[in-house]
Structure formats: structure tokens, C-alpha cells
Amino acid sequence: MNPSLFFILILGPWCFGNFASATESESLLKVMEAWKANFSSWVGDNPCSGWERVTCDSLGRVIELNLSNAGIVGPVPANLVDLKYLTLLDLSNPRYNPGPLWNAVSGDLAGLEGLTNLQYLDVSFNNITLDSFPSAVFKLTNLVTMRIDNLRIGGPLPKELLNLTKLEKM
């Protein structure tokens, strides 16, 4: 292997900083627009450079989005799926200490379907009312923790939940 190429591959992330892909940056901005949220730190085109509520890994990929009590409103946007490395998504509201910004996520959670790396999902205490358990969740096979406290979901727990073999807490 060419020594120059080796050093670029190994030292690149430390020398040049962490930069999320343009797709991830655009998706995050579209998600916030759809949810009518506004964060003052979300400026520029790199969420890995200090955007609040966003965590990136050492390769500059968005891996955590913590929007707990952020005042987001509406269904889960379809372009959330562009955050394909996301391992943690928190859309919850605090149970005992609601702040001035109360989330009102609604809909069938279909926008979660392609987040196959997701390990932690919290949609607790939102405005979600469903006739049956959201089928989008069945495709999240890496889920370890799923918080759905205080949602209004009708019907029995479906057997498809057994396909979530890594699920430890629900």
C-alpha cells in the first residue's frame, strides 16, 4: 500500500475533522423543517461541528439524535431514513418535568422503517394513537431498547415483536 494513502486513511479523521455527509446534513435540516423546530446551533453544513442534540462518530457519521422535549410537532418525516447510521433516536417528552417545549410526534412512525442500525428508540409521552402496533418497528432488528410509555396503541402485542431478537427493554 502506498504510504501516503495509508496516512491519509489513518490520520484523515483527526487531521481534517469530522464531516457528516451532505445527505445527512440536508436530511437533518429537512427533518427539523418538517417538525417546525429551530436550533440556533444548527448553522453551516456540518452537524458534527457543534450542532446541539446531534452526536457523530469518529468517521463523521450522525449516530445519535436526541430531540427529547425539543418542541417537535407532526409525523416522523420520511427523510429521517437518510440518517442510516443512527443508533439512538429520542423523541420523548419527560414524564414528570415537562418543559416549555413539549413534543407532539404523531402518525404511524413509518418514517422509522429504514433505520436498521437503530439500537435505542424512545417515543414516550407523545401524541401517538394507533389502532395496532406500528409495523415500521418490526424492521428495526438491532433495537435493544424501545420506550413507548404512554402511547395509545390498540390491540394485542403482535408476534412480529419476537423477530426483534436483540430487544432487551420495552
User: DSSP label at 169?
Assistant: B
Residue ranges of the chain whose pLDDT lies below 70: 1-20, 94-102
Q: Which residues of 39-51 are buried (b: 16+ CB within 10 A; e: fewer)?
A: eeebeeebbbbeb
User: Which residues, including other chains, have CB under 8 Å from residue 148's CB and lie 6 or more apart?
Assistant: 123, 124, 170
Q: What are phi and psi of 60, to 5 degrees?
A: 80, 25
Q: How distant, in Å, are the alpha carbons of 41, 75, 110 from that of 127?
A: 27, 10, 15
pTM for the model: 0.82
The set of cell numbers assigned to 92 is 420523548
Report domain extents, the chain.
16-163
The pLDDT of residue 95:
59
Superfamily of domain 16-163: Ribonuclease Inhibitor (3.80.10.10)
